[in-house]
Amino acid sequence: MLSPEKIIESFAAACTACGLCVEVCPIVSETELKDAAPGEVMDEILELFRHGKTGPLARSRIYSCLFCNTCVPACPLELNPGFTFGTAKGLLRKLGEVQPKGVAGIMDYAKARLEESIISFRARLTDQTQLITDLHEKPKPARTVLYATCFGLMQGQALYTTLKIMERIDPGVRVLGGYDFCCGELQFLGGRPAEARHQFAKLVEGLSAFSPVEVVIFCPTCKMTFDHHRPQTNWSWSFVTDYIADHLNELGPPDKIDANVTLHDSCHYVRGIEPATDSPRKILAAIPGVQISEMKNKKMDALCCGGYAITGTGRPGYRFRDRRLAQAGDTGADLLGVYCPGCHMTLGAGAAQKGLETVSILSLLGKSLGIEPAWADNF
């Protein structure tokens, strides 16, 4: 597991400032970078990485990064510009740069939301010890653990339905989540990459305390974090839609739901370290009556929800999100289907303003299986 300093040092030593990563970046056209030469942008990035000199192009490139992995296959040296730009938020912070409000406040915001979400989610559990949220709690052994993730707990409705689906596969499933057990993504997003590494180590320790065979991860970004760090464990991990798609025949017969769904693909699922596209569609196809209307950009070509850029830049991120929502509206679908809790939060509010309902595909599956929602307000 490389330190933040080593990640930046390695990138700075290898990068030639060819600018190809800037050329393919889908958000550049929404930012001040649109009028800059791609090589000029990367020259400024390298000045920052090699000599600690900050500039407006470098700051804009770092904070507007979607972390969508579109740039990775474009790099002729097989570097990961987006991951390095994310790490560089910590360098800017170390150099005394004022962080954007969204970046500086992300951890306090998440902690407050999580405290509220945990209380609400736990209250709906028949066995409230099924959810472990504290480092000092000793969990009961479990073959399967659902890692709730931070944004997953904030989308408690979908998480609850997912738990009920998984109980049909393994009635002894347990749940781990909460601020103590963040995968480090919040710290990474907040410009604290060293803290992110420490946080991930705590999470692995917490999951291992269950002595599980399999850990099912509710968020694709957290799944990508596991794939990146590759911890040495006695258990395997998988993304939640992959796990459920592999066990569809154990869930019972689904009822018909008449719905036209357009599916938003998560960057960190379709362009992650282990990219995939099939299981969300397999789940929707298993629900009688559901029609899938694909967007113009789909699967590995899908546009990002814009969440990272909203946090880092505000308006450019929102404009980018609206581009994705326009694609969803163009399909004529009734519902915007998602399987990433972060995308759900980012797209949900904007979609509602445009008259499009956002729904977790796992909540749709739960509805077809007769699982009563714990909340009455949304899917």
Q: 3-state DSSP helix/strand/coil percent for the chain, to nearest 5?
A: 55, 10, 35
DSSP designation for 262: E
**253 shares a domain with 209:** no
Min mean pLDDT across 180-184, 220-224, 321-325 is at 180-184
CA distance linking residue 346 with residue 336, whole number of Å: 12
Site of tokens 């070509």: 301
Asked if residue 283 belongs to a domain, the reply is yes
Closest CA to 244 of 212, 219, 279, 287: 279
Min mean pLDDT across 101-105, 151-155, 365-369 is at 101-105
How would DSSP label each residue in 72-105?
Answer: GGG-TT---HHHHHHHHHHHHHHTTPPPPHHHHT
Asked if residue 379 belongs to a domain, the reply is no
**84 shares a domain with 19:** yes
Does residue 277 sit in helix, strand or coil? Answer: coil
Residue pLDDT, tens place only, 109-165: 888 999 999 999 999 999 999 999 988 888 999 999 999 999 999 999 999 999 999
Cα 173 to chain centroid, rounded: 23
What pTM, to 2 d.p., does this model score?
A: 0.95
**355 shares a domain with 271:** yes
**220 shares a domain with 129:** yes
Domain count for the chain: 3
Specify the pLDDT at position 375: 58
| Phi then psi dihedrals of residue 320, to 5 deg | -65, -45
Residue pLDDT, tens place only, 188-240: 767 788 888 889 999 999 999 999 999 999 999 999 999 999 999 999 999 99
Q: What is the mean pLDDT of residues 330-341?
A: 97
> What residues make up the domain containing 304?
248-368
CB-based burial of residue 375 (10 Å sphere; 0-12 exposed, 13-18 middle, 19+ buried)?
middle
**211 shares a domain with 87:** no
Other residues' Cβ atoms within 10 Å of the Cβ of residue 165:
24
**154 shares a domain with 45:** no
* Residue 192 Ramachandran class (φ > 0 left, ψ -120 to 50 alpha, else beta): beta
Buried/exposed 57-88: b ≥16 CB within 10 Å, e otherwise: bbbbbbbbbbbbbbbbebbeeebbbbbbbbbb
Asked if residue 376 belongs to a domain, the reply is no
